[in-house]
């Protein structure tokens, strides 16, 4: 994986039924880079998980990887 954008895309595609509908936009900010994850409406629950645990785990991985790169990242899951 060359970037966190690719990492998020890979994780999401492995979870969903329609991997061709996975899209990740990287939006750089002054202090934090936003990774906006878009999936098919039917796959939204799979990415979020029960009680948001899958999404929380993905955010933890992104935060840890960002720390290693000395950058801040935030994962936002959008419809």
Q: What is the pLDDT of residue 4?
A: 93
Please tell me the predicted confidence (pLDDT) of residue 53: 97
Give the count of alpha carbons within 13 A of 65, CB side only: 18
| Domain around 63 | 4-78
The total number of structural domains in the chain stands at: 1
Mean pLDDT of 3-22: 96
Per-residue model confidence (pLDDT) at position 1: 54
Predicted pLDDT of residue 79:
80
- Here the CATH number for the domain that contains residue 45 is 3.30.300.20
pLDDT 10s digits, 13-65: 999 999 999 999 999 999 999 999 999 999 999 999 999 999 999 999 999 99
Exposure class string for 50-77: b at 16+ Cβ within 10 A, else e:
eeeebbeebbeebeebbeeeeeebebeb
């Amino acid at each position: 994986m060359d970037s966190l954008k690719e990492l998020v895309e890979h994780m999401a595609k492995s979870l969903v039924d329609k991997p061709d509908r996975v899209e990740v936009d990287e939006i750089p900010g002054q202090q934090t880079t936003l990774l906006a994850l878009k999936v098919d409406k039917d796959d939204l629950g799979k990415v979020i998980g029960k009680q948001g645990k899958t999404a929380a785990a993905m955010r933890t991985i992104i935060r840890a990887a960002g720390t290693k790169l000395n950058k801040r990242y935030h994962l936002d899951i959008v419809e």
